[in-house]
Amino acid sequence: MTKYTGVVTGIPALKSTAGDTTDSEQIERLAAGLQGNEFGMLILAVPIPSKNVTREETAVVDQIQRAQENEDPEKKRKIKYYLELQDSYLKHIQLGTALGMWLTVPYFFAPKRDVFVRLQSLLRATYVDETSRPTPLRTHEVEGLSDHIQKFGLLRTKREGEYFQELLEYRFLSPLNSRMLSAFVHLPKREMPGFRIRRSAEFSLAEIPPKDPNRVIAIGNILDRGEDTGNLYYIDVDALQKHTIVCGVTGGGKTNTCFYLVGQLWRYGIPFMVCEPAKSEYRHMMLMSETFKGVGQAFSLGDETVSPFRLNPFEIMKGVKVQTHLDALKSVFNASFEMYSPMPQVLEKALNSIYSVRGWDLINNVNRRLPPGMNPGDPDCPPEIYPTMKDLYEIIDPIVEGFGYSDRIGPDVQAALKARIGPPLHSDERSFWKTHCSRTEDGFRRQ
């Protein structure tokens, strides 16, 4: 890998920074230019003591002052160019006084000659522009650097002859401030072969004060880019009345999170219902957890031998108007079934009809079958006043016939609606719908 070696000297151009909108970092462009080839770069830097940096700054100021005092007309152009270079170097040193200065040696190497030559060219193209002053970036092929590279050693070869700045006494060591050094050590922003990037989302870290500190749920610790801040995130108990989604990959802890949430709710005496279509984890939780042991109830749909459940979606709860309940039923059916015209109109009339058959006055919200003084939803309310799924299924044919559709459209609408409503009545879950009254929250006592 270190058969051909070289050193970079001079001031690199900082063509991209972490805050810029540049499409790619310089290291990315360098790697892209040599994709599929073996090469390497090693950047070694040691800090320069601040007193040395201050001494260098003072020396440069003195040199600039002496040059400005030179009024030799024959050297006017040279002096002007010299002052421009010294001014660039002074700004470089002054920034280093604030940010820090480093004696830096960037090594580059490759196992093949052609790759090494391309690497030299790409380094100059990537790290050189008009801001590379006072000493532009140069690449030097230097043999015998394998030991230095493997041992992370600095190449302390002193310059021959006179030099003006103390920090430039070494031929292959460049004094760079921290900003210029960052041009060499910026990590790629995009993934590359052998270099994986994992991005962390940033979220708000400020805690939102709860309305009632005595009715809160601690969701968990607040993280900042994956690190625990030590602060808990609370939400109001009543906030869970809104829609909440718990999402994540398999094994990410979704079920345990829900266990924790319902456990917190139960401590405040708030009831909850869990619909578990595939597993039995919540049933196991109810049996094993001391929090829920002896207080929860589990029901199995379609299994009459364990804990049968009954549901009549047409039953009206106490205090709810029949027309309001009908509107909710229409929304449920429209969301559950894909229907085309005129199916929604037929279904709407069928729903109204099955309630009328059971004695309901949809406008005045009364039922003629109820004794005086009794209201829908009362404990002694006769269950026969509520229609069932079977009633809806059986009324489809006469309703469609009443619309007077043609011999082709009528049977199609009948078949389409019955195909959507019929399966629950003829499947293993038919007992689930075979009831006038659902099991309610007051003990699930009505059958």
- Kind of pairing between the strands at 4-9 and 101-110: antiparallel
- Look at residues 228, 231, 226 and name the one whose alpha carbon lies nearest to residue 206: 231
Q: What's the pLDDT tens digit per position in 104-149?
A: 999 999 999 999 999 999 999 999 888 788 888 999 999 989 988 9
Residue 5: the pLDDT is: 95
More confident residue, 190 or 428: 190
In the chain, CATH 1.10.8 covers 322-433
- Distance (Å, whole) CA 259 – CA 279: 14
- Distance (Å, whole) CA 189 – CA 32: 13
Q: The whole model's pTM is what?
A: 0.54
Q: Which CATH class is domain 322-433?
A: mainly alpha
- Distance (Å, whole) CA 105 – CA 205: 41
Copy the structure tokens of residue 439: 């099991």
Q: CA separation (Å) from 347 to 285, 337, 383, 420? A: 41, 11, 23, 11
Residue 413: the pLDDT is: 94
Residue 241: the pLDDT is: 82
As a dihedral over the C-alpha atoms of residue 48, residue 50, residue 53, residue 57, rounded to 10 degrees, the angle is 170
Q: For tokens 């404990």, what's the residue?
A: 379
Q: What's the pLDDT tens digit per position in 202-245?
A: 777 877 777 888 888 888 888 887 788 888 888 888 888 888 88
Secondary structure, 3-state, 155-176: CCCECCCCCCCHHHCECCCEEE
